[in-house]
A and B are shown apart, each in its own frame.
Chain A
Amino acid sequence: MSRIIDKDLKELSATLYRMGELAHRAVLEALIECIEGKEAHEEVREIADTLVAMADHVEDKAFELIARFQPVASDLRTIKSYMKIAYDFARFGRYALDISSINKQIGGLRGCEEWINSYVKRMSEKTLEMVRSSIESLKSHNTQIAEKISEREKEVDKMYFEFIDDLIKCGATIKCAVSSVLIIRYLERIADHAAYICESIIYIATGRKEVLR
């Protein structure tokens, strides 16, 4: 027999999963906008706003569940972690909007050197893979997927610092340097939040507070 709280937890989980899909789309659209110059700012803004509203909803619902059910053990860990994950997804939306704004304000990566564009693309792919992994680990509370993110997070960090070194050496135009540095900085932050989500999944499933960064 299922418990009363199970229905609400399932609903919260479904909301988070929808947030994950929206967040992934926002980041993808913003990156395409910056790299290929395709206008997507309004759409990204809309998704980012929706993600903030959904995160507020998750927090309100979580508070209601705490008040009504006084959850303990894995229920308590799940609710606490869902609040954190909702915030992480809302941050994805915020960083997507920031990336999109780079295109709007200074023209993104249009006309920049090929090596810069291809570096940003590679880092984008890696980061989007991490976003995807965080969503998948959430979907099934899969700790194995979650644990694997650590290695990729370190790769993204390494790429971030290497890129900055290369950029200083190559003497890129100010516009391209600013655009690309901001983009990869936001990608690096998105990767961090993907790792936070995976840390939350491990906490829900095992109670262990692991650091995957």
Chain B
Amino acid sequence: MAVKFDIQNLNAWFGSKHVLKNINMKIEENAVTAIIGPSGCGKTTFIRCLNRMHEITPGSRVSGKVIFNGVNIYDNGVDPVMVRRKIGMVFQKPNPFPMMSVYDNVAIGLKLNGVRDKKTLDAAVRRSLELANLWDEVKDDLKKSGASLSGGQQQRLCIARALAVEPEVLLMDEPCSALDPIATAKIEALIRELAKNYTIVIVTHNMQQAARVSDYTAFLYLGELIEYGATKQIFENPKHELTEKYLTGKFG
């Protein structure tokens, strides 16, 4: 297994609230890792710690190491902006910039990074939209507003936007929770396709979605990593009683 993230003794707080407790795990490169667990268990906080987004929230704090490509992203001197460029994020609710065109929504990351050459931008926009399986649906009208697309298209636009800056990792925070089953199926197929070249960590409340799309599954409960393993093993034969209870709906 090629390790993309080596997470060591990761702890996170919101003020005095200890939301992640001593997490240790390795995340495989070019694979899909699903994070599951009940509401409030720390799933979203966990992935936000993987690209230093947690620290944006006032009063938040992190300890421990997140070693990405051999470097601890929390070391002094590591630029969080660079970290977030390599480790992109897709959010629960599709959030294209409503006043921007489809084209600009995808190009914005590159433009902010100083790319001005139109040919380079055109190529990157096309490549990203193709990767996100959206190109064929929008290629004839790239100038229309991103907000005019359907919910599923908007989410794929956000994925294209994240891909445009050529990240190595995509963090996805419940990317399908606002989508209908058809749009969800498209995103799930896209996730599998992208996993050939990207490392994907997805938070989901939908356990069947975790079972469908992921190679590995981690179960978090009250901020602790209870069980982590191959998705087949977790869903067929969980080792920990809490995992079994959560998966079968016998919780609480």
Interface residues of A (CB under 8 A from B): 3, 70-77, 207
Contact = CB atoms under 8 A, between A and B. Distances in A.
A3 B249 contact: yes
Contacts of B249: 3
Interface string B183-221: 000000000000000000000000110010000000000
B208 A73 contact: no
Interface of B: 207-208, 211, 235-238, 243-244, 247-250
A77 B244 CA distance: 12
Given A72-B247, A75-B248, 11 more contacts: A3-B248, A3-B249, A3-B250, A70-B211, A72-B207, A72-B236, A73-B238, A74-B248, A76-B235, A207-B236, A207-B237
A75 B248 CA distance: 7
B90 to A, nearest CB: 24
Contacts of B208: 70
Nearest to B233: A207
A207 to B, nearest CB: 4
Contacts of B247: 72-73
11 contacts: A3-B249, A70-B208, A72-B207, A72-B235, A72-B248, A73-B235, A73-B236, A73-B243, A73-B247, A74-B244, A75-B248
Which secondary structure dominates chain B's binding surface? Answer: helix
Q: Which 7 A-B pairs have the closest CB atoms?
A: A207-B237, A72-B235, A73-B247, A72-B247, A70-B208, A73-B244, A73-B238
**A72, A73, A77, A207: which has the most chain B beta carbons within 10 Å?**
A72
Nearest to B236: A76
Contacts of A72: 207, 211, 235-236, 247-248
Nearest to A207: B237
A72 B211 CA distance: 9
Contacts of B250: 3
A151 B237 CA distance: 27
Nearest to A209: B237
B48 to A, nearest CB: 27
A17 B252 CA distance: 30
A161 to B, nearest CB: 36
Contacts of B243: 73
B226 to A, nearest CB: 13
A77 B237 contact: yes
Which of A70, A71, A74 is most buried by chain B, counting CB atoms within 10 A of its CB?
A: A74
B241 to A, nearest CB: 10
Contacts of A3: 248-250
Contacts of A70: 208, 211
Contacts of A74: 244, 248
B227 to A, nearest CB: 11
Nearest to B207: A72
A44 B1 CA distance: 57
A3 B249 CA distance: 7
A113 to B, nearest CB: 51
Nearest to A3: B249
A71 B248 CA distance: 7
Contacts of B248: 3, 71-75
B181 to A, nearest CB: 13
A77 B248 CA distance: 12
